[in-house]
Each structure stands twice: as C-alpha cells, then as structure tokens.
C-alpha cells in the first residue's frame, strides 16, 4: 500500500488519505484516538500515519468506528492484537462489527457492475488490499452518550442508511465533522468529486441514508472529513444539499 497523506485540518485533528479510503487521528497531549482503520492491507499505512503525527501505538487510547465495512475496520485486528484498547461504535454497528450480520456489497453485485472500467479497477485493488475477508472486530462495544471521554471529545451522531448503525462524529470545538460513508466526496469507482452519497450497490438503505443526512445540516463547523475523497470546506447544509441533489 502507498504512503498515506496526513493533513492537520484543525488543532489536534489529522485527516489521513490513502489510495482508496480515509481515516482520522485525534490527538490530545500524548494520547490518540483513531477513527476507522482502512483495509487489512492498510495496517502499515495506519502505523505510518500515527508516526507522522508524532505518536506510537502505545499512545492509542481509543478506536472509533463509523461503520464495520472491511475498508474501515480491516487493519484493526492486527493493529490491536495484544492491546487493551476500547473499540467504540453504535450499539447496532457493534453487532455488525461482531459479524452477527453483514451489510455490504455482495460479490454478485460487484460482478454485475464490473463491466465499468472503474469498478473493475477498484475490485482488483480490493483484492490486493485484503478486502475479501469477512473478519470482524469482536472487541467492538457500544459507546455511551457523547461527548465521548476519549482524545478529541467527539460527539457521535448515529446516521443509519449506509449501514444500519453507521455513525458520524462531530468535533464542535474544532469545527470538524467526520462523516464516514454517510457522505463522501469521491470514490475510486466514480469520476465525480464533491459531496455525494456512495454508489447504490454500497448502500444498505439509501433512503435511510438520505434522511440521516438531514441531521447534519445544522451542526457547527465548516470542515468535513469523509471516508472516501478529499476533505471539504464549507457549510454542512451546502454539503448535504449537494449530496442529495
């Protein structure tokens, strides 16, 4: 996997972009929160990003999960092996992370769309990144009401649709919103950039996703960090309007 790009978008908020998926590092003193963790093949890239912000795995106080797709939790089993680090997400998504159920694009859906060159290229990347595994994160457990008592003090906002328990994380003091895959700004399978929803084959319930986006309109801040694509600067209401258009 390629070396990730790390950008400090606000004090203590570091946005990390790899080739196909993003994650976020929240620092407070020496302590660190990791939000999402990329594919299994991104393990070394996650470590590299932590080192780039001057921290080590020993500084990791918590992991937050937006949703339990393999491209967002894939590195966590190896990353957390032998470490007593809490992995927090919504109650429903914790069960998804445990693999009590699985909500993601099926191989048949991917094959049916593989006539599109971008989908074929993405599929090959997924296989190279270890994305065919169905392994989960049995340590995942539900968070309490926010703000969460972890570095960054994020406020969870449950936004079902992309998955049943998908969660965004708001950092009101920093003016930042981490949207996971509820709202993205790009993806390897599409040419368009800017605020948008993920492609239908990746959605568990696109209608619920659209409704969930309404909860983001009135939040404070003007920096949006998606699970795929570049950071976006502007009002969240504008981002929602563009994604729903």
All domains of the chain in start order, with CATH: 5-244 (3.60.15.10)
Contacting residues for 217 by C-beta, under 8 A, at least 6 apart: 236, 237, 240
For residue 110, give Cα distances in angstroms to 114, 132, 162, 164, 209.
6, 12, 16, 21, 21
Given this model, what pLDDT does residue 89 score? Answer: 98
User: Integer distance in angstroms from the first to the last C-alpha of the chain?
Assistant: 34
Q: Classify strands 140-142 and 13-17 as parallel, antiparallel or unpaired.
A: unpaired
DSSP E strand boundaries for the chain = 5-10, 13-17, 22-28, 31-35, 60-64, 87-89, 140-142, 155-158, 167-171, 176-180, 223-226, 232-233
The model's pLDDT over 162-186, given as tens digits with 9 standing for 90+, comes to 999 999 999 999 999 999 999 999 9
Which residue do the tokens 């971008």 mark?
A: 118
| Torsion over CA: 45, 11, 59, 51 (sign) | positive
Provide the residue-wise pLDDT of the chain in tens; the chain has 245 residues.
Answer: 568 999 999 999 999 999 999 999 999 999 999 999 999 999 999 999 999 999 999 999 999 999 999 999 999 999 999 999 999 999 999 999 999 999 987 766 766 666 677 887 878 888 888 888 888 999 999 999 879 999 999 999 999 999 999 999 999 999 999 999 999 999 989 999 999 999 988 999 999 999 999 999 999 999 999 999 999 999 999 999 999 99
């Amino acid at each position: 996997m390629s070396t990730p790009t790390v950008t400090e978008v606000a004090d203590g908020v570091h946005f990390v972009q790899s080739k196909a998926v993003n994650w976020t590092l929240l620092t407070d003193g020496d302590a660190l929160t990791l939000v999402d963790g990329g594919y299994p093949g991104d393990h070394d890239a996650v470590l590299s990003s932590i080192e780039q912000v001057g921290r080590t795995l020993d500084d990791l106080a918590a992991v937050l999960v937006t949703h339990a797709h393999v491209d967002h939790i894939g590195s966590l089993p190896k990353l957390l092996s032998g470490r007593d680090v809490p992995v927090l997400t919504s109650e429903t998504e914790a069960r998804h992370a445990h693999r009590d159920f699985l909500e993601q694009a099926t191989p048949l859906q991917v094959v049916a769309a593989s006539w599109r060159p971008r989908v074929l290229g993405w599929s090959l990347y997924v296989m190279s990144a270890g994305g065919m595994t169905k392994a989960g994160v049995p340590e995942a457990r539900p968070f309490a009401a926010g703000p969460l008592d972890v570095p960054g003090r994020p406020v969870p906002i449950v936004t079902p649709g992309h998955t049943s328990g998908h969660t965004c994380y708001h950092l009101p003091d920093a003016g930042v919103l981490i949207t996971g895959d509820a709202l993205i700004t790009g993806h390897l399978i599409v040419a368009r950039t800017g605020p948008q929803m993920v492609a239908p084959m990746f959605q568990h319930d696109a209608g619920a996703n659209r409704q969930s986006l309404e909860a983001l309109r009135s939040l404070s801040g003007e920096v949006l960090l998606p699970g795929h694509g570049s950071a976006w600067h502007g009002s969240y209401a504008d981002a929602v309007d563009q994604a729903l258009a």
